[in-house]
Structure 1
């Protein structure tokens, strides 16, 4: 998932952590030294032993840096973006999934007010409905981005979030996700996962690789960001501004709105 912004509850961490941070870098050369300094910040932010051990073992993620430098798809026209991302397939599969699990999606909408089509469009767009949730180690990817100078301030709170998720047992250093450290069915950034994660199965842990937890967490994120039940979500309508909170790219936002309406239509 490729979320728009650091969340309200960890913004308070972002400024002091960024201010204290060791010098960022644009190559792997200073990564190990940076991790040692970042360990001190992580400890002050409440990261425990398991999280700190995960930080110590994090590897510089070259593929993550390459992906971060080459995000061309968000510069496409809307039509091209939707075609490349397989919008028609997502809509077709989304309708089938909604029909097969009508009670599940209806229950989510009753609880959070977010229409099924929006959740299914996000699920389809992010991971092809869980068919591919990433092949990069989440901790290494997000720690690398926290170190990298390009967007260090943005990713530092998410790196802290990832280490705390390790402490909680929600992920391990080996957990795989997307190249930017997003995890699970709908690709939560770790800081978002810490704040908006929901244990919808009631098993005592939030598992973003479990469909029920992941979609409930996604609905919760949107509701907490201001989703107004019963209101529209197309451009110009009240809830479109909430879709913007999920992803910063205009073509992505428009695609979710279009596909969601087609799935629900």
Structure 2
């Protein structure tokens, strides 16, 4: 299944994408894509519905993040061997874990705001894990039992704030709109091997990232197990799993960063695509 949320920010309704690409309204079935709706039983009930029996949603509505009610936006840093190489960083011996502010979460095609004073805003196409049920200290063998599915994410990052301003990475990662997720949650039964998905990101039509989840250092099972040993995972929690090479920071002969007025387009095999316009902060 492809599950989504549509409508104005803060007023999204749950929906399902049918085989023809039409959005079907789920609001008469579940109040939202959160909590119990994301559990194995909840997803099984949704899978048993004939989409043709649901109201079709007219037009081309805005898409919000495909899930809500999360407690954590978690990120794994330097999790692709080829990306670590382009940044000159050593391959991590354990997953590097940091957090994005929940305020960073945004819809897949919403504008990305370049923060006031930013000079090194950057892009990162990433596979996102969507948690479906509470996970605490789970083994790798148990990990996928707690996963609802996967989505495309863009871990937008301000590199000067992340690297040069002292402290943790979080300050360059959690800015408003720096966490687009979607367009939909693809349930795990439709993604038999999350470690073999091609992925890309273009800036103004130029291919910048062209990679695959095959080069992830720590796979989905390891990440969920590892993080759950430190942070209790809850339904709707999102884990950004790292990015392949081609980020602005790694461009040769010199880095390239985002400016207002540009367009990012990114996608992952089987999970859909996002398009964001960059805009200057006004305030």
Taking structure 2 as the reference length, what is the TM-score of the superposition?
0.26
Taking structure 1 as the reference length, what is the TM-score of the superposition?
0.28
More strand by share: 2
More helix by share: 1
